[in-house]
């Protein structure tokens, strides 16, 4: 692209702590997307932003420029033949261990009249990725043709897929360079990366699940809160009403972690085989916020009643089944998931070294135990073993003893099972205390709602 000012001068301005204009930011992001900026220049820009930050106006401009660097989906009105009869809604999480909310929330919202074009990612580090979980389902296509994706959103109400080359291409290149230049941990870059992709999906409303605790993406409670507030504010100023929930990740959200094991958990919740629990509680609150934002319910009580009805009736499970079949998976996954989802050859309990109650969990270390088993990635191109993982993970305050283990390990070999067991012993603290002596964290710690101007 043709720059009105030399790119190096714009980079110099940010290096020296100056605020960039909307026009300058759009030119720089355009150069990232079309190759007008070299890798060296993109890295220098990322470092300048990392060191000097961005004000609110710059962060909004950066987010909008990333969003507009490729296709922005249109679902109704001019430029769209779909004519969706309901709101286009989505959710994003900063990630965690046992966080399979998307697998349940997407079809649940669809069953309530919303349309969910969910563009998700892979796991890296200690957190699991939604796409990795879905690829445990044989035949599931995470990269369908554009029209197939759009048609499925209209017909099933939900499609969970990976980012396409057309959506926010500037983010793909910028993130790759941030990853190798030690500039990932920058609030404006994090926010624009998350929101650029999400807002390019043409949403009417967004809900963010920002985790806090030992398994969270952000290192401290204060940083998690700052991220939640910034995302809600920036997305709303960019035109998409957004609610951010600050939720607990001081223990795994579900009592399992892995890929196939988490798909089984999602199916159990959707079909009513399992009820209650922290995972369902968080998903229900996030879904209620989306129904309110999308005007599918008049108040919180009505939203929760609608959700409970659609779950109990099997409507949410049916939407999940339609999505899976529509993307190439088995048509009878709900009825016969044991035929399709892979199982590890070794499943054995890991008992605590002493009886007592679980008083602390290093959730990040629990996630890394899954990575050690082969269920996660150390590098972006690592292969995933979808069968391995952990189930029956003990919760904070729960008694563990010779009968009740810390967890069950699903492993490919005895050596890997033993290694994961050692990691769990180090990650989960057990003490001889009463139940009242264990402080249980608040699950939903704050709710931040922002309307578009």
Q: Contact, 19 vs 58, CB < 8 A?
A: yes
Assign 3-class secondary structure to the chain. CCCCCCHHHHHHHHHCCCCCCHHHHHHHHHHHHHCCCCHHHHHHHHHHHHHHCCCHHHHHHHHHHHHCCCCCCCCCCCCCCCCCCCCEEEEEECCCCCCCHHHHHHHHHHHCCCEEEEEECCCCCCCCCHHHHHCCCCCCCCCCCHHHHHHHHHHHCEEEEECCCCCCHHHHHHHHHHHHCCCCCCHHHHHHHHHHHHHCCCCCEEEEEEEECCCCCCCCHHHHHHHHHHHHHHHHHCCCCEEEEEEECCCCCCCCEECHHHHHHHHHHHCCCCCCCHHHHHHHHHHHHHHHHCCCCCCHHHHHHHHHHHHHCCHHHHHHHHHHHHCCCCCCCCCCHHHHCCCCCEEEEECCCCCEEEEEECHHHHHHHHHHHHHCCCCCCCCCCCCCEEECCCCCCCEECCCCCCEEEEECCHHHHHHHHHHHHHHEEEECCCHHHCCCCCCEEEEEEECCC
**In whole angstroms, what is the distance from residue 211 CA to residue 213 CA?**
7
* Residues 32/170, Cβ–Cβ less than 8 Å: yes
If you compute the radius of gyration of the chain from its CA atoms, what whole number of angstroms results?
22
Report whether 244 contacts 267 (CB < 8 A): no
Active site residues: 90-93, 130, 178, 193, 197-198
β partners of residue 242: 206, 450
> Which residues contact residue 321 at a Cβ distance below 8 angstroms, ignoring those fewer than 6 apart?
331, 333, 334
Is residue 219 within 8 Å of residue 371, measured between CB atoms? no
Q: What are the φ and ψ backbone dihedral angles of 375, each rounded to 5 degrees?
A: -90, 5
């Amino acid at each position: 692209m043709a720059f009105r000012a030399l790119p190096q001068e714009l980079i110099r301005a940010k290096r020296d702590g100056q605020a960039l204009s909307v026009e300058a930011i759009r030119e720089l992001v355009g150069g990232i997307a079309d190759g007008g900026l070299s890798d060296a220049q993109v890295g220098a820009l990322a470092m300048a932003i990392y060191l000097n930050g961005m004000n609110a106006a710059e962060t909004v401009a950066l987010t909008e420029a990333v969003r507009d660097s490729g296709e922005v989906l249109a679902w109704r009105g001019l430029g769209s033949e779909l004519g969706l009869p309901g709101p286009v809604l989505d959710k994003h999480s900063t990630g965690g261990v046992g966080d399979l909310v998307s697998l349940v929330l997407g079809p649940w919202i669809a069953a309530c009249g919303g349309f969910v074009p969910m563009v998700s990612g892979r796991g890296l580090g200690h957190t699991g990725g939604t796409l990795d979980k879905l690829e445990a389902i044989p035949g599931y296509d995470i990269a369908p043709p554009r029209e197939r994706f759009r048609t499925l959103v209209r017909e099933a109400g939900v499609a969970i897929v990976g980012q396409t080359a057309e959506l926010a291409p500037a983010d793909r290149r910028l993130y790759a360079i941030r990853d190798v230049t030690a500039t990932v941990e920058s609030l404006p870059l994090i926010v624009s990366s998350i929101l650029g992709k999400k807002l390019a999906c043409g949403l009417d409303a967004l809900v963010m699940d920002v985790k806090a605790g030992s398994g969270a993406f952000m290192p401290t409670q204060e940083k998690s809160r700052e991220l939640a507030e910034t995302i809600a504010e920036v997305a709303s100023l960019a035109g998409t009403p957004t609610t951010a929930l600050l939720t607990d990740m001081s223990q795994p959200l579900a009592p399992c972690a892995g890929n196939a094991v988490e798909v089984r958990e999602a199916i159990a919740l959707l079909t009513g085989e399992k009820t209650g629990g922290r995972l369902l509680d968080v998903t229900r609150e996030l879904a209620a916020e989306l129904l309110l934002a999308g005007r599918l319910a008049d108040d919180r009580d009505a939203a929760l009643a609608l959700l409970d009805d659609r779950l109990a009736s099997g409507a949410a499970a049916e939407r999940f089944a339609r999505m899976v079949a529509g993307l190439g998976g088995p048509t009878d996954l709900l009825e016969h998931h044991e035929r399709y989802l892979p199982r590890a050859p070794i499943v054995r309990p890991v008992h605590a070294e002493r009886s007592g109650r679980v008083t602390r969990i290093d959730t990040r270390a629990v996630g890394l135990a899954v990575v050690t088993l082969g269920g996660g990635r150390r590098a972006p191109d690592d292969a995933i073993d979808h069968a391995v993982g952990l189930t029956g993970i003990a919760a904070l305050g729960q008694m563990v003893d010779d009968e009740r283990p810390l967890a069950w390990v699903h492993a490919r070999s005895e050596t890997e099972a033993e290694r994961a067991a050692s990691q769990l012993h180090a990650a989960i603290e057990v003490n001889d205390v009463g139940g009242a002596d264990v402080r249980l964290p608040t699950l939903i710690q704050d709710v931040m709602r922002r309307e578009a101007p």
